[in-house]
Amino acid sequence: MTRKTFDAAAIAAHEAGLSAALDAGRRVLAGGGTALDAVTAAVCALEDDPHFNAGRGAVFTYHGTNELDAAIMAGDTRAAGAVAGVMHTRNPVKLARTVMEAGPHVFLSGAGAEEFARDHGVEHVDPDWFATPERWRQLEELKSRKLGWFDSGMKYGTVGAVARDAAGHVAAATSTGGLTGKRWGRIGDSPLIGAGTYADDRAGAVSCTGSGEQFIRAGAAHEICARMRLTGESADQAAAAVLAEIGAIGGVGGVIVVTPAGETALAFTTPGMFRARADSTGLEEVAIFA
Amino acid sequence: MTRKTFDAAAIAAHEAGLSAALDAGRRVLAGGGTALDAVTAAVCALEDDPHFNAGRGAVFTYHGTNELDAAIMAGDTRAAGAVAGVMHTRNPVKLARTVMEAGPHVFLSGAGAEEFARDHGVEHVDPDWFATPERWRQLEELKSRKLGWFDSGMKYGTVGAVARDAAGHVAAATSTGGLTGKRWGRIGDSPLIGAGTYADDRAGAVSCTGSGEQFIRAGAAHEICARMRLTGESADQAAAAVLAEIGAIGGVGGVIVVTPAGETALAFTTPGMFRARADSTGLEEVAIFA
């Protein structure tokens, strides 16, 4: 993503979406809620906003469907839930959380994940709910220009949130439509615990966006936590080290991190990353480019 | 698994399967082949052997199908490939390797993964190829006794291999049918890079078996590599630390590790683990119980 990709109206719309998500998470925490509830609220807001590539407004697959991935993890128990390839669940992050809290497994996929969603009363929508004209245009452009996934400039937009609550617990959640034109049931890093999403009260909570294949190969989110826990690196140091490692294997992207002490990192190797941050001292920040 | 679970004939059959897989891998390495080729050959042998829960002889899902997961990773490049929920690919590990070498993605799932398999000429079989009477009996027993996945004692049998070649490179591969009676498109740790499978020439190659959900939450395979790389722990120390951590969150299982220096670890917190090991000095070991 570059400044050229977005006009003033698009920037304003994305900033408004970020502010709304930030507010949703902050309201939970200000009311004494948990980090887990805060990241759920923030990611739900972004899933419902058609400007972001998650939930409504997700990119289209090669076959013209929207197939959604999400994950959530709690730092206190290291409980986790994730789903891949769902096509009828309005808020995939809520389904991931239901998997974490109500199911025997961590990671469900495809039609089976939606059978679980129905069994557990997670809101079901018609696939049209997710479809937007702009994402369809992007798919058609990718196909007509015979662009690959890796040179389309349309691959980002995954949403994520990390939070630290008053009890000092952290949580992370990530949700995405994946890559425009993805095929073959491709699963990226977002729903993979340890790749795109990880939370551990002994280190921090991490959510990632970017070239998912390299984030998987680096074990990015777990590696950031491992570096903080095993070597004492700060969130900024660990995030920079992992982004450098991802760069060395050909990837770019960004990460957001929060620690139980309240330290945060928002790091990226792309020209920009839609991001927002707030804390109980009044800090409030919404930004896009470097 | 306990001594009571297996009679002498079953033990002999499993030991023969382990020896055959060990030979397949050793032949590759003795001929100057790569660690990647060695783990592919060893895991293919175990997938084709109906005594192990991978490929032919995989456990049945709740709905009476065989749905297979596999992953492979090369330590020199940290390239990786993985598939989940395939039902027609004779050797899922070969498909994982084709994903790694021929595709733009790391992780493919379900019908899409098999479309990729067809596009790339990976051997296709009728689902009956995988089905064995003993696994069907286990599914019926699980259902009739209303056992859960986590108290069935039928959940192990994932196969894996790690190897180090003459050039000092390591590789890991894992393949499984998952849990008897699994539902909802459940994906376990085996095909998740960083959870059940990881390889990094800076540390080692790891393949895991056991209660997959806890292995995912611990980022087990990546954590073993991270401990060796960041703290200098030996393979045995790192394996023991991670199995202890998995125990602390309620899981049991085993791991196999090899380092670029040729150090190995075969560690487990179950009563036994089918395992075999060989090296160029003539070491040869096949074992089941502790």
B3 in a structural domain: no
Region label for A153, one of left (φ > 0), alpha (ψ between -120 and 50) or beta (otherwise):
left
Asked if A94 and A122 count as a contact pair (C-beta separation under 8 A), the reply is yes
Q: Number of folded domains in chain B?
A: 1
Tokens of A198: 């990880």
The set of catalytic residues of A is 158
Among all residues of chain A, which has the CA nearest to that of B86? Answer: A185
Asked if B270 and B247 count as a contact pair (C-beta separation under 8 A), the reply is no
A2 in a structural domain: no
A167 in a structural domain: yes
Q: What is the pLDDT of residues A125-138, one digit of tens each?
A: 999 999 999 999 99
Contact A219 B193 (CB under 8 A): yes
Query: What pLDDT tens digit does each residue of chain A (290 aa) get?
Result: 667 777 889 899 999 999 999 999 999 999 999 999 999 999 999 999 999 999 999 999 999 999 999 999 999 999 999 999 999 999 999 999 999 999 899 999 999 999 999 999 999 999 999 999 999 999 998 888 876 655 555 556 899 999 999 999 999 999 999 999 999 999 999 999 999 999 999 999 999 999 999 999 999 999 999 999 999 999 999 999 999 999 999 999 999 999 999 999 999 999 889 999 999 999 999 999 88
Q: What is the CATH number of the domain that holds B239?
A: 3.60.20.30
d(CA B1, nearest CA chain A) in Å: 21
Q: Which of B34, B158, B197, B264 is catalytic?
A: B158
A258 in a structural domain: yes
Enter the pTM of the model: 0.97
**Pairwise CA distance, residues A83 & A246, whole Å:** 24
Query: Helix A8-30 crosses helix A35-48 at what angle (to 10 degrees)?
Result: 150
B1 in a structural domain: no
- What is residue B145's predicted lDDT score, i.e. its pLDDT? 81
pLDDT band at B144 (very low <50, low <70, confident <90, very high): confident
B50 in a structural domain: yes
B254 in a structural domain: yes
B75 in a structural domain: yes
Tokens of B139: 């599914």
Among all residues of chain A, which has the CA nearest to that of B213? Answer: A106
Whole-Å CA distances, B89 to A157, A187, B92, B136, B207: 33, 19, 6, 20, 21
Contact A184 B85 (CB under 8 A): no
Q: Domain of residue A265: give its range.
A: 8-289
